């Protein structure tokens, strides 16, 4: 099964974030416990959320893929 479409992500990028089917099944069958906290009717600003959103905003495709990076750093080991 393919991961669901996500605007701006290619299939291989979506697969990198997809959860394994057995985990999804376990989550779907989980029993929730407790009571959720009620949300406030008032607005509470959280500036740090805006800061993190700005800092992690995707501005374009990555310049170097992790695969290219892994292949460019080979390590030689010799045993004497």
- By C-alpha distance, which of 55, 68, 70, 65 is closest to 12? 65
Contact status, residue 3 vs residue 14, Cβ threshold 8 Å? yes
Q: Please check whether residue 17 is in contact with residue 3, taking contact to mean a CB–CB distance below 8 angstroms.
A: yes
Q: Which of 2, 27, 39, 37 is nearest to 17 (CA)?
A: 2
Distance CA 49, CA 3 (A): 27
Identify the pLDDT of residue 49: 92
CB within 8 Å of 27: residues ≥ 6 apart:
19
What pLDDT was estimated at residue 36?
A: 84
pLDDT tens, per residue, the chain with 80 residues: 566 667 777 888 777 778 888 998 999 999 989 998 888 888 888 899 999 999 988 777 766 665 665 555 555 555 65
């Amino acid at each position: 099964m393919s991961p669901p479409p996500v605007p701006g992500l290619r299939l291989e990028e979506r697969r990198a974030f997809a959860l394994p089917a057995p985990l999804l099944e376990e989550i779907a069958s989980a029993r929730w416990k407790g009571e959720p906290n009620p949300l406030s009717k008032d607005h509470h600003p959280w500036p740090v959320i805006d800061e993190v959103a700005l800092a992690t905003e995707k501005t374009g495709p990555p310049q170097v893929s992790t695969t290219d990076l892994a292949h460019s750093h080979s390590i030689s080991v010799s045993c004497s």
